[in-house]
Structure 1
Amino acid sequence: MNKQTFSLQPFFSTELFSNLKITGNISRNANQLAIDYNLGGDLKEIAIYPPSNAPSRKHELWEDTCFEFFLGIKDSARYWEFNLSPAGHWNVYRFDGYRQGMQEETAFEKLPFSVQNHADSLELALNVDLNKIVSAEQEIEVAITTVIKHRDGEVTYWALTHRGAEADFHLRDSFIVDL
């Protein structure tokens, strides 16, 4: 098993979210990928929708607070974008190359994950079987990201690394976790 911890950084420093911290861990055991996010700080200033009674696949989750990761096959242009909303909604998109050929990944009919809200933190945990999209023998590269939306509408973009002049989670050289 390959387990790594992470800490995300905002694209630019902002006092609005200076007290936030996004940490977690990611691991791959055989072909099970587990990722856990912990958002800590003053959460009352963040736009977080309450848990849905009927979580489902939804589009454009990145327009609000959303936990994301991007998974690519080593030495391949193909990659997937996983979106996880604190409300329980989700989606997975497949790309043929950098922002090319975006399609909803139909290999996943459900993406069950847990969300726990606390007074000063939010925890999100996902365990997903990757056999639907990659074989256990394939090396993968992952970018871990989060979109945080303030109650006033300002959005910040958090990632392990920011390699572009603008916040761009799709840049392949930011897929820096090898599993």
Structure 2
Amino acid sequence: MIEQKFSLQPFPSTKSLLNLKIAGNISRNGNKVAIRYMLEGDLKEIAIAPLSNTPSRKHELWEDTCFEFFLGIKNFARYWEFNLSPGGHWNVYRFDGYRQGMQEETAFENLPFNIQNQADGLTLVLDVDLDKIISENQAIEVGITTVIKDKDGEVTYWALTHQGAEADFHQRDSFIVKL
């Protein structure tokens, strides 16, 4: 099993940032990936969707507070974007290349994950089997990101690294976790 810890950094901005910390870990065991996000700080200032009794696939989750990761196969242009809302909703998109050919990844019919929400922290844990999209022997590269929307509607973008002049989670050179 390969496991790595991570800490996300906000995109440099003139906005006043909330006092937050986003960290976690990601691991791969065979073709199963487990990712755990821990959001700590003053959560009452963050717009967090209430937990749904019927989580489902939804579009444009990135317009609100959303935990994301981008997964690509080493030396291939194709990659996937996983979106996980603290409200329980989710989606997975497949891209043929940098922001090209976006389509819903139908290999996943559901994507159950666990959420624990307390006053000073939120934990989100996902275990996903990648057998339907890649083979176990393929090396993968991962970019881990989060979109945070505050109660005033301001959005900040968090990632392992920011490679461009603008926040852009799709840049392949930001997929720096190797599993």
TM-score, length-scaled by structure 2: 0.98
Alignment partner, residue 110 of structure 2: 110
- Structure 1, unaligned stretches of length 5 or more? none
Amino acid at match of 1:174: S
Alignment partner, residue 142 of structure 1: 142
Residue 69 in 1 paired to residue 69 in 2? Answer: yes
Alignment partner, residue 87 of structure 1: 87
Summarize the alignment of residues 4-153 of structure 1 with structure 2, pairs less than 5 Å apart: 4-13=4-13, 16-153=16-153
Q: Is the 8 A contact 2:18 2:42 kept in 1?
A: no
- How many percent identity over aligned positions? 78
In 1, the alpha carbon distance for the partners of 2:19 and 2:93 equals 31
In 1, the alpha carbon distance for the partners of 2:95 and 2:18 equals 33
Give the C-alpha shift of residue 118 in structure 1: 1.0
In 2, the alpha carbon distance for the partners of 1:94 and 1:15 equals 32
| Aligned residue-pair number | 179
- Structure 2, unaligned stretches of length 5 or more? none
In 2, the alpha carbon distance for the partners of 1:18 and 1:149 equals 10
Give the C-alpha shift of residue 17 in structure 1: 2.7
Question: Deviation per CA, 1:20-76, whole angstroms, max 9, x where unpaired?
Answer: 000000000000000000000000000001100110000000000000000000000
Give the C-alpha shift of residue 19 in structure 1: 1.2
Deviation beyond 2 Å, 4+ runs, structure 1: 13-18
Q: Is the 8 A contact 2:107 2:133 kept in 1?
A: yes
TM-score, length-scaled by structure 1: 0.98
In 2, the alpha carbon distance for the partners of 1:115 and 1:16 equals 27
In 1, the alpha carbon distance for the partners of 2:121 and 2:90 equals 20
Give the C-alpha shift of residue 15 in structure 1: 6.4
**The 10-residue stretch of structure 1 (81-90 or 9-18) with the greater mean CA deviation from structure 2:** 9-18
Question: Deviation per CA, 1:74-117, whole angstroms, max 9, x where unpaired?
Answer: 00000000000000000000000000000000000000000000
**The 10-residue stretch of structure 1 (17-26 or 131-140) with the greater mean CA deviation from structure 2:** 17-26
In 1, the alpha carbon distance for the partners of 2:16 and 2:155 equals 10
Give the C-alpha shift of residue 14 in structure 1: 5.8
SS in 2 for 1:97: coil
Calculate the aligned-residue CA RMSD, in Å.
0.9
